[in-house]
A = this chain, B = another copy of it.
Amino acid sequence: MALPSGDSSRPDNTLAVIHTLREHGPVARIDLGALNGISAATVTSISAELLQQGLITQQPPKTGRPNGRGRPKTLIQLNPQAACVVCIKLSINEIQLVVGDFAGRVRHSEHHAVSTLALSADDFAMMLEAKISAVCTQQLDGFQRLAAICLAVQGVVSSQSGTIVWSPALSFRNAPISTRLADHFHCSVLLENDANCIANVLAARSAYADCANLVVIMLGYGIGMSVLINGVPFLGANGSAAEFGHSKYQPDGALCACGRRGCIEAYASDYALYRAAAGQLELTATDSAHPSEQQMQALTQLALTGDPVAQRIYAEAGRALGVGIANVMALFNPDLVLITGSGVRGFEAMQTAMHAAIDDALVAELKGTTRIESCAWDRDMTCMGGIAMTLQATDTETLLESQTARKA
């Protein structure tokens, strides 16, 4: 097989071009060169090859624009059909399956209610195989290849060994899932923590571009966190770093879903808020351990419209969150703490107490210049991040496969 032509940095340049096209959408060749610091000749040669491999397409220049000046430029863009990723998001009693195309856009999304906590490790793997197979059969027509599967999981994962170490969605632990799915579907499998996926999406936004140390906190049924240091998720020795929800607010405090006491999650998560409210407020009869989105919205409304009991509950959650964030500020000294997740619906009812707790906890020199902001939640965000991370991780593979296919 012939070696790729061009200079020794050519594969890196090709990857850079693909990443730029994914980030910016359609771009003229001349701008591609400028954005990546490579010559016009190199861009021309790379784009010719990518065109031939079917990884990019050309947009004919628009003509007849009344105010257009100069010769209109031909834009090139990723061929969205060149490859796709199936991303599965695992939460408690819910599975989301999303198909993303080669340009990183969501093409299909479906949610399934699944009693995840009732599954054995084997049932869980078979359930995933069946759901992924179904989505592939229905949705993958027209795509040149399935680049990879991404599994975005609430909890502690070891991406390296492909093992779900501990997830609140599962009643078993240390599940080696990546190899099983990779063998079944004959493709790469990326296992990621859900908060890292979200952080990947947020870090790409221009508003947060100057944050070398970015902490993203996800409020919701549980509480997740991702710490990005220079854009890279900080994983620690075994991948369980940035576990914020089970850091402590109050030793010997409220019971947490993990079985221990006093975790931040035991005060500020959906189940903790609903549990505290269930004893004191008239709420729809429910399984208070797993409140629905509608129930959480109703509870939040009570706090926001001045119900004193609901206000007290959200204030206590805000205090717990504030003490936890103060510890994160003391230990990580981040540029920005960004709060999101479905639970951000209740942030307005928590934030006064949260800021008061941070001010009580830390002297000004330790608060430093860290900003604390909230950010609107989008339920597709986790999978969008998972798809972006997976495409980036498998671009080299896609490139090689396309070269081989073209030469065969």
Contacts and interface: CB of A to CB of B under 8 A. Distances in A.
A247 B333 contact: no
Interface stretch (A230-238, A286-294, A379-387): A230-238
A49 interface: no
Question: Looking at chain A, what size class is its interface with the partner chain?
Answer: 35 or more
29 contacts: A156-B366, A166-B363, A213-B237, A229-B229, A236-B332, A237-B368, A237-B370, A238-B368, A240-B330, A240-B333, A240-B366, A241-B331, A242-B331, A243-B330, A243-B366, A244-B330, A244-B331, A246-B330, A246-B363, A247-B326, A247-B330, A248-B326, A250-B251, A251-B357, A251-B360, A251-B361, A260-B363, A327-B327, A331-B331
B166 A365 contact: yes
A16 B244 CA distance: 40
A54 interface: no
Nearest to A243: B330
Give me the 5 closest cross-chain CB pairs, A-B, nearest first.
Answer: A236-B333, A166-B365, A241-B333, A243-B330, A247-B327
Nearest to A173: B365
B330 A237 contact: no
A261 B363 CA distance: 11
Contacts of A165: 365
A357 B368 CA distance: 30
Residue among A166, A173, A334, A363 with most chain B CB within 10 A: A363
Contacts of A365: 156, 165-166, 173, 240
A237 B369 contact: yes
A251 B253 CA distance: 11
Contact of A251 (B227, B252, B319, B362): B319
Nearest to A371: B237
Contacts of A259: 363
Q: How many copies does the complex hold?
A: 2
B246 A362 contact: yes
A365 B237 CA distance: 12
Given A258-B363, A362-B260, A363-B260, A247 B331 contact: yes
A250 B243 CA distance: 19
A221 interface: no
A238 B369 contact: yes
Residue among A234, A365, A368 with most chain B CB within 10 A: A365
A124 interface: no
Nearest to A245: B330
Nearest to A167: B365
Interface string A154-184: 0010000000011000000100000000000
A347 interface: no
Contacts of A234: 229
A135 interface: no
Contact of A239 (B156, B166, B333): B333
Contacts of A368: 237-238, 240
A405 B123 CA distance: 75
A249 interface: yes
Contacts of A239: 333
Given A166-B363, A251-B357, A260-B361, 18 more contacts: A156-B365, A156-B366, A165-B365, A166-B365, A236-B332, A236-B333, A238-B333, A238-B369, A240-B333, A240-B365, A242-B331, A244-B331, A246-B363, A247-B326, A252-B360, A259-B363, A260-B363, A261-B360
Contacts of A235: 333
Interface in A334-374: 334-335, 357, 360-363, 365-366, 368-370
A328 interface: yes
A234 to B, nearest CB: 8
Contacts of A227: 331
